[in-house]
Amino acid sequence: MELAATIIVDGLIYAGWLFIVSVGLTLVFGVLNILNIAHGSLYAIGAYAGATMVGAYYSIGGEAFPWGSYVALILAAVLVALIVGPILERGLLRFFYGRDEVLNVLVTYAVFLMLEDIMKLIWGVNPYFVYEPYVLLGDVEIGPLFYVGYDFAVIGAAVVTGLAVWLTINRTRTGKLVLAVIHDPEISRAMGINVPRIYLGAFMAGVFLAALGGALTAPMISVTPGLGANVIIVAFAVVIIGGLGSIEGAAIGALMVGLARAASVHMLPEAELFIIYLVMAGVLLFRPEGLFAKVQARKI
């Protein structure tokens, strides 16, 4: 019983984190039809930016009001989206809309390679630590178990993020425009929708979500080079399980992967590193395009 509770709590915490780091990936694929390997690098940039911002906040006397460090984390993600988003979308990706999906994977792989080194140039190769926001929320006691409050805040952040994205797409005018562009960019353009702007906006939102994932993770880990390479394949697994382009799918995928991994950590630690891919392979066996994928007609 206690084991089950531990697995569920650990699984939910991990699922919350997974959802934040992968929802941007599925959003960008849904709108731009590009599976963005560089999403992992954007996550890492977010982590570095978050660590730097929090460090800067404390160096200008943030001790007096430690809660401001959370604002600093979110601000870091916004900054990354504002700077990196337009450069990548306007400068590179827009030349590849409508091209082969696999080719686009390679384009973003090239971006991934370049960003990995650009990060080393900017932030060096030494680790960054910002533990202050992590300990700020204290501990939470559930039965005989202690958890760090920040971990639950991550679940909360995931729920808020998911709701915000879902409401924006399904309940606002902008969301309707985005859905129209997803359905048919050409007709949308003919109807007077500014399609390039929708693309830019969606990509910047994706960058923001990736960077937010990184920034929120920064207090929990030591930020080092190579961070992005591990995250991106986990995010891939989540969005592919859910069906590429589906927000609900990403949530279900994150829950499945999160719980599976927590179960494996506690019951079968040998499988910890690959249980994620096992779940993904299992889902693809029965649903070759993921759980929530759109049905597409085959072209002759």
Partner 1 sequence: MSPMILTAAALAACTVLAAGAVLLPDWAMFLVTMALAKGLVSLGIVGMMRGGLVSFGQGLFYCLGAYMAAMVTNVFGVADIVLISVVAMLATGAAGAALGPLLATYRGIFFAMLSLALSMVLYGTFAKMSSIGGTDGLTVLTPTFLGWAPEGLALQTALYAFTGFVTVVAGVLMRIYFNSERGLITLAIRANELRVEYLGASVRNAMAWNYLFGAMLGGLGGAIAAMSLGHVDPEFAFWTTSGEFVFVAILAGYLSVPAVFLAAIILELVRSFSNLYFPNTWQIFLGAFLLAVIFLLPRGLGSLIERKRTGDKE
Interaction site with partner 1 (CB under 8 A): 35, 92, 95, 101-103, 105-107, 109-114, 116-118, 120-121, 125, 229, 233, 236-237, 240, 244, 269-274, 277-278, 280-281, 284-285, 288-289, 298-300
Return the sign of the alpha-carbon dihedral for residues 119, 121, 122, 124: positive
Distance CA 258, CA 268 (A): 15
Query: CB of 70: closest distance to partner 1 in angstroms?
Result: 32
Rounded Cα–Cα distance for residues 248 and 226 (Å):
29
Kindly tell me which of 53 and 280 has the beta carbon lying closer to partner 1: 280
For partner 1, which is the closer residue by CB, 41 or 217? 41
Question: How many C-beta atoms lie closer than 10 Å to residue 272's C-beta?
Answer: 13
Shortest Å distance, C-beta 40 to partner 1: 10
SS3 assignment, position 299: coil
Q: How far apart are CA 256 and CA 272, in angstroms?
A: 14
Sort 26 into a burial class: Cβ within 10 Å, 0-12 / 13-18 / 19+.
Answer: buried
Angle at which helix 68-91 crosses helix 195-217, to 10 degrees, equals 140
* Nearest distance in Å: CB 20, partner 1: 21
Residue 137 C-beta: closest distance to partner 1, Å: 32
**30/62 with CB nearer partner 1:** 30
CB nearer to partner 1: give 107 or 165. 107
* Shortest CB 290 distance to partner 1, Å: 8
Residue 245 beta carbon to partner 1: minimum distance, rounded to whole angstroms? 11
134, 143 Cβ separation under 8 angstroms:
no
> Tokens representing 212?
């937010």
CA distances from 258 to 152, 166, 176, 262, 281 (A): 14, 21, 31, 6, 15
Residue number, 176 or 294, with CB nearest to partner 1 = 294
Nearer to partner 1, 1 or 300 (CB): 300
Taking CA atoms, 280 is separated from 102, 201, 234, in Å, by: 19, 30, 10
Q: How far is the CB of 294 from partner 1 (least distance, A)?
A: 14
Q: Are 193 and 183 in contact (CB under 8 A)?
A: no
Q: Which is nearer to partner 1, 75 or 284 (CB)?
A: 284
